[in-house]
Amino acid sequence: MLAVAFQKNLPDFTLNMTFNTNNHILILFGISGCGKTTTLRCIAGLEKPEAGYIKLNGQTFFSAQEHIFIPPRDRGIGYMFQDYALFPHMNVQKNILYGTKRHTTGSLALFQELTNLLKITHLLKRSIPQLSGGEKQRVALARALMAKPKLLLLDEPLSALDIETRLELQEELKAMQKLWQIPFILVTHDRNEAKNLGDQIIFMEQGGQVPPPENWL
């Protein structure tokens, strides 16, 4: 279980986040600038809160009171950035295997499983600029899962895609989460996407958690 309760000072407001989530898809929903991405960055260890704690499966990643701050590389968290952060000078296969230090039998089996599940085996030798938006999303997801993360963070991963591709990849994300059985935390400001993907939805406004909009249902 992920347990979060922290405060992070931002230029226009203080971000206050308190929630617990288990092995399902949690949506952070709200307009741009309300603190969704900063929440992900704090969980990943890319930013340090001023107060509170962040814990996953009993391990403390951050505690202001105990003066604990685990660096990002030691948290075992996968992070899919909004622009996918793929390396344009590497082909698909090298991008997916980038974070794999040793190519063992197990890692190669996982690589084969992921590329089959995400239907990208025919793309392995292609360069990143040759890919469509949906293909880049699948490659980024494969790369994130190759690290066998304990938690996956996704920052508006589908925002740049056309509606047909978005709907297809929403279903793939749900299927992958059920298969991997780890928490997925996904940022979006798209109402339909939040409803379709979210097992749990946190509504955010100016750094705080608010009730659902009156017209949500």
Quickly state the pLDDT bin for 174 (edges 50, 70, 90).
very high
Same domain? For 96 and 161 the reply is no
Per the prediction, the chain carries an average pLDDT of: 91
Residue 101 inside a domain? The answer is: yes
**Is the predicted pLDDT of residue 102 greater than 80, yes or no?**
no
Q: How far apart are CA 34 and CA 204, in angstroms?
A: 6
Last residue of a domain, one of 127, 148, 169: 148
Quick: pLDDT tens for 45-81.
999 999 999 999 999 999 999 999 999 999 999 998 8
Count: domains in the chain: 2
Contact status, residue 37 vs residue 30, Cβ threshold 8 Å:
no
Per the listing, tokens 């017209």 go with 215
Same domain? For 139 and 113 the reply is yes
Q: Using alpha carbons, list the distances in angstroms from residue 150 to 46, 57, 125, 185, 206.
A: 17, 9, 29, 12, 29
Domain that holds residue 166: 1-76+150-217
Same domain? For 171 and 72 the reply is yes
Quickly state the pLDDT bin for 98 (edges 50, 70, 90).
confident
* pLDDT reported for residue 21: 96
pTM: 0.91
Same domain? For 24 and 38 the reply is yes
Instruction: Of 59, 61, 19, 53, give the one whose Cα is nearest residue 36.
Output: 19
Residues 6+ apart with CB under 8 A from 189: 29, 30, 31, 32, 36, 156
Residue 161 inside a domain? The answer is: yes
